[in-house]
Amino acid sequence: MTRKYNFSAGPAMLPQEVLEQAQAEMLDWNGSGMSVMEMSHRGKEYMSIATEAEADLRDVMSIPENYKVLFLQGGASSQFAAIPLNLLRGNDSADYVNTGAWSKKAIAEANRYCSVNVVSSSEDNNFSSILPFEGWDINPDSAYLHYTPNETIGGLEFPWIPEVGDTPLIADMSSTILSRPLDVSKFGMIYAGAQKNIGPAGLTIVIIREDLLGDAMDICPAMMNYETHAKAGSMYNTPSTYAWYFSGLVFKWIKKQGGLEGMGEINKRKADRLYAAIDDSDFYKNPVEKEFRSWMNVPFTLANSDLDESFLEQAAARGLVTLKGHRSVGGMRASIYNAMPEAGIDALIEMMQDFEKQYG
């Protein structure tokens, strides 16, 4: 068996150790005589899996007591609607930051429910930089401020957290959650689809401060109401049981890597090495200003886009796959989430250098 280095933006690589453990437990979880997939979500066995996964996530992220952790479905994209439906709380306007494609989707959806005030947009610099917080057009009466700490497509990432005082700060962390230590107490709500840096697709994690629950709009569907899910322990209906279980194994794996401190050091090292290889060459280019470069998604272009296809072919021949950039950006994109081993970065850099020698 040869495993590839998969640079996909999501669903992305999962830690091999965790896949192996899931494989070993596939037919018979812990003497239950059943696969986790076959268990009742309300049974004693599955409840122990679910509870332990939440406890491990709370531990890994140091989530304060006054936050609920919800294990939902529908992807981060469903939250784009759920956020205004739950968090406007009688207000008619909300602040949004536009740093790229995912910000725009969140804004478009919120526009159905309220008046969106775009406090800052990176559109004018072609999403290569983030404007200083001091210049943002904050509305003090806004229900909340929503932003995207890491733009998965453009590879633009916040190196700081906006300080919005009493306004709840809402963050779409789909592609950066668990990549390094985070002070959860600065946020009203954090959410993420699992398929990038957590586990299998089909699970969406919401971490929400308790005081923000209980004031959803009347038209908010029960399935989108955070309070409904919080009260039911994320079992208002059948949750994504296997993805929840598997993510629990990933949380334990993160602990073994030294927790988020350890993960952060590894991720920084990986990103630094790849950006250095790009910057040291005249052949490869990354458009993002250095301080805003993503640790997780590294877009880069070749000096001549006619060579893109050959690059992808040669990479694939070495087991380096899914490097094609998003159609809106072109070029390449290497997504290097937690589960991408350092050896995968080294193999990519070596391939890039060999390719440049050949064509540069």
Ligand X SMILES: *Cc1c(COP(=O)(O)O)cnc(C)c1O
Residues tagged active-site: 102, 172, 196
Residue 144 or 355: the one with the smaller Cβ distance to ligand X is 144
- Contact indicator for 178, 254 with CB cutoff of 8 Å: yes
- Token pair for residue 179? 């990549």
Q: Give me the least distance between CB of 81 and ligand X, in Å please.
A: 11
Residue 105 or 255: the one with the smaller Cβ distance to ligand X is 105
- Contact indicator for 60, 251 with CB cutoff of 8 Å: yes
Alpha-carbon distance of 267 to 277, in angstroms, equals 16
Helix (H) or strand (E) holding 301: strand 297-302
Q: Give me the least distance between CB of 77 and ligand X, in Å please.
A: 3
Phi and psi angles of residue 150, each rounded to the nearest 5 degrees, phi first: -135, 120
- Contact indicator for 9, 340 with CB cutoff of 8 Å: no
Q: How many CB atoms lie within 10 A of CB 322?
A: 20
From 56, 109, 157, 172, residue interacting with ligand X (rule: CB under 6 A): 172
Residue 193 or 248: the one with the smaller Cβ distance to ligand X is 193
- Token pair for residue 131? 């404007």
Exposure on the CB side of residue 305, measured as CA atoms within 13 A: 8
Residue 39 or 171: the one with the smaller Cβ distance to ligand X is 171
Strand partners, 324: 332
Q: Give me the least distance between CB of 145 and ligand X, in Å please.
A: 16
Residue 75 or 299: the one with the smaller Cβ distance to ligand X is 75
Choices 24-32, 137-145, 171-179, 205-213 (CB under 6 A): range interacting with ligand X = 171-179
Which residues, 6 or more positions from 311, have their beta carbon under 8 angstroms from its beta carbon? 302, 323, 332, 355
Subset of residues 177 to 216 that bind ligand X, contact rule: CB under 6 A: 193, 196
Which residues, 6 or more positions from 307, have their beta carbon under 8 angstroms from its beta carbon? 359
Choices 158-166, 168-176, 230-238, 284-292 (CB under 6 A): range interacting with ligand X = 168-176
102 contacts ligand X (rule: CB under 6 A): yes
Alpha-carbon distance of 326 to 74, in angstroms, equals 22
Exposure on the CB side of residue 62, measured as CA atoms within 13 A: 10
99 contacts ligand X (rule: CB under 6 A): no
Residue 152 or 228: the one with the smaller Cβ distance to ligand X is 152
Subset of residues 55 to 94 that bind ligand X, contact rule: CB under 6 A: 75-77
Choices 172-180, 182-190, 319-327, 334-342 (CB under 6 A): range interacting with ligand X = 172-180
Burial class (CB in 10 A: 0-12, 13-18, 19+), 155: buried
Residue 174 or 179: the one with the smaller Cβ distance to ligand X is 174
- Token pair for residue 89? 């709380």
Subset of residues 131 to 160 that bind ligand X, contact rule: CB under 6 A: 148, 152
Q: Give me the least distance between CB of 221 and ligand X, in Å please.
A: 17
- Token pair for residue 183? 């002070």
Q: Give me the least distance between CB of 47 and ligand X, in Å please.
A: 25
Match 């949750």 to its residue by tokens: 239
Q: Give me the least distance between CB of 72 and ligand X, in Å please.
A: 10
From 6, 99, 167, 175, residue interacting with ligand X (rule: CB under 6 A): 175
234 contacts ligand X (rule: CB under 6 A): no
| Residue 215 one-letter amino acid | D
Choices 16-24, 58-66, 124-132, 170-178 (CB under 6 A): range interacting with ligand X = 170-178
Strands of the chain (E only): list them.
Answer: 5-6, 67-72, 93-98, 115-121, 145-147, 150-151, 156-157, 169-172, 189-193, 204-209, 284-285, 297-302, 320-321, 332-335
Q: Give me the least distance between CB of 100 and ligand X, in Å please.
A: 8
Binding-site ranges for ligand X (CB under 6 A) = 10, 75-77, 102, 148, 152, 172, 174-175, 193, 196
